[in-house]
C-alpha cells in the first residue's frame, strides 16, 4: 500500500513540475488592419530564471515595441506589440524560451493583416443573394414622386441649354500652359519649405514624415518615370531595384538601404505612432536630401552621356 501511495505522489509531483516549467503564447486578436497593433504575450510561472526571446524572425510582421516583463498574480508575463504594413496571412513562429537553463518552445500563431477587415458572414450573404431586377421609372412616376423638385430641375436644365446656345459661338479661352518645374528643383524647394514649417519642432511628427517621404517619392516618380506614390515601401523598393538594372542607373546598395530605412521609419511614425529622437529626425532629413542629390547626379550624368553619343 505504501508503495502505491509513493508512486501516486511521484506522478503527481511530476505533473506539477511539468505544469510549473511551461510557457504559453497568445495574442489578443488574430485580425488587424495595416498599421494596427496586436499584443503577443508569453506567460510562465514566476519564481524561475526565465530568458525571454528577442523576436527577430517575424516574416511580414514587425515588433513595434517590447515591454518589460511583469508579474501578474502567480504568472511572469512578457508582452510584445506587433504590427504589419503588408496585407496577408503571417505566422508568429515558434519562440524559444529558456526556463532554468532549459529550452521550451511556444506554439506558432496565425495573424491576418488586411487593408479592410472583412465580415465573412456579410460576404457569404452577398454571394448567395441574387440581384433583384428593377423596372425603370416612367416619366409620370418621376414627376409624381419628386413633385416640385422635378419642375425645378427641369427649369435648371432648360436654362443651361439656353445659355449653351447663347454662348456657343464665343471664342474658346486660351489657357496658358505653365512650364513644368524640373523634378530636382521642385524637390529642393519642397524640402526647404518643409524645413521652414518646423513641423517636428511643433511635435507634428506624423505630418512631418508624411510630407518628407511624399517629397522623396514624388521626386523618384517624376525623375525615373515610375509609380512611386500609390505603393507600399516594399513595392517601391522592388520597383526601384528593377529600374536600377533596366536603366543602368548604378544606384549603390548603400543608397537603396538608406531609402528603405527612411521609408520604413516613416511608416512606423505614421502608423505605429512612434516618436523618434531629434538626432534621428535630423538624420532622416539629411538622408532625404542625399538620396535626391544622388539620383539627380546619376540621371544628369546619364543624360549627358546619351547626348554625346547622339552627336
Question: Nearest to residue 233, comparing CAs of 282, 269, 205?
Answer: 269
C-alpha cell at 177: 500652359
Return the ∠ at Cα 197 (arms to 196 and 202), rounded to 5°. Answer: 125
Strand ranges of the sheet holding 88-92, from the earlier edge strand across to the other edge: 31-33, 109-114, 88-92
- Domains of the chain plus CATH, in order, are 23-114 (2.60.40.10), 183-310 (1.20.120)
Sign of CA dihedral 255, 257, 262, 267: positive
Span 4-56, pLDDT tens digits: 444 444 444 444 444 445 788 999 999 999 989 999 898 998 778 888 888 87
Chain segment 138-195, per-residue pLDDT in tens:
656 665 566 667 678 878 898 899 888 887 765 555 555 667 899 999 999 999 999 9
What is the spatial distance between Cα 12 and Cα 295, in angstroms, rounded to a whole number?
Answer: 70
Q: pLDDT at residue 129 above 60?
A: no
Q: Is the pLDDT of residue 278 over 70?
A: yes
DSSP string, 131-187: PPP-PPPPHHHHHHHHTHHHHHHHHHHHHHHHHHHHHTTSPPPPPPPPPPPPHHHHH
Average pLDDT value for the chain: 81
Cα–Cα distance measured from residue 293 to residue 311, given in angstroms and rounded to the nearest whole number: 27
Give residue for cell 489578443: 28
Helices and strands per DSSP (H, E), number in the chain? 9, 11
Amino acid at each position: 500500500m505504501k508503495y502505491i501511495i509513493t508512486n501516486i505522489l511521484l506522478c503527481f509531483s511530476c505533473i506539477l513540475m511539468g505544469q510549473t516549467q511551461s510557457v504559453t503564447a497568445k495574442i489578443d486578436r488574430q485580425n488587424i488592419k495595416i498599421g494596427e497593433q496586436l499584443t503577443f504575450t508569453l506567460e510562465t510561472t514566476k519564481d524561475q530564471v526565465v530568458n525571454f526571446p528577442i523576436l527577430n524572425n517575424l516574416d511580414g510582421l514587425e515588433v513595434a515595441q517590447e515591454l518589460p516583463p511583469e508579474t501578474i498574480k502567480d504568472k511572469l508575463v512578457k508582452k510584445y506589440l506587433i504590427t504589419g504594413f503588408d496585407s496577408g496571412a503571417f505566422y508568429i513562429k515558434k519562440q524559444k524560451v529558456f526556463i532554468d537553463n532549459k529550452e521550451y518552445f511556444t506554439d506558432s500563431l496565425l495573424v491576418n493583416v488586411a487593408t479592410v477587415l472583412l465580415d465573412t458572414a456579410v460576404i457569404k450573404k452577398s454571394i448567395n443573394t441574387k440581384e433583384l431586377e428593377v423596372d425603370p421609372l416612367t416619366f409620370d412616376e418621376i414627376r409624381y414622386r419628386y413633385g416640385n423638385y422635378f419642375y425645378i430641375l427641369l427649369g435648371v436644365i432648360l436654362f443651361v441649354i439656353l445659355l449653351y446656345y447663347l454662348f456657343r459661338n464665343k471664342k474658346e479661352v486660351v489657357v496658358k500652359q505653365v512650364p513644368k518645374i524640373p523634378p530636382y528643383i521642385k524637390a529642393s524647394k519642397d524640402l526647404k519649405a518643409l524645413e521652414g514649417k518646423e513641423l517636428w519642432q511643433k511635435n507634428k511628427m506624423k505630418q512631418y514624415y508624411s510630407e518628407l517621404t511624399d517629397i522623396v517619392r514624388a521626386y523618384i516618380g517624376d525623375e525615373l518615370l515610375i509609380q512611386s506614390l500609390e505603393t507600399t515601401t516594399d513595392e517601391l523598393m522592388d520597383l526601384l531595384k528593377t529600374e536600377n538594372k533596366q536603366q543602368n542607373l548604378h544606384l549603390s546598395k548603400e543608397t537603396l538601404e538608406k531609402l528603405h530605412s527612411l521609408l520604413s521609419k516613416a511608416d512606423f511614425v505614421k502608423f505605429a505612432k512612434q516618436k523618434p529622437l531629434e538626432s534621428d529626425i535630423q538624420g532622416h532629413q539629411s538622408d532625404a536630401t542625399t538620396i535626391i542629390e544622388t539620383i539627380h547626379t546619376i540621371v544628369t550624368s546619364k543624360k549627358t552621356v546619351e547626348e554625346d553619343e547622339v552627336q
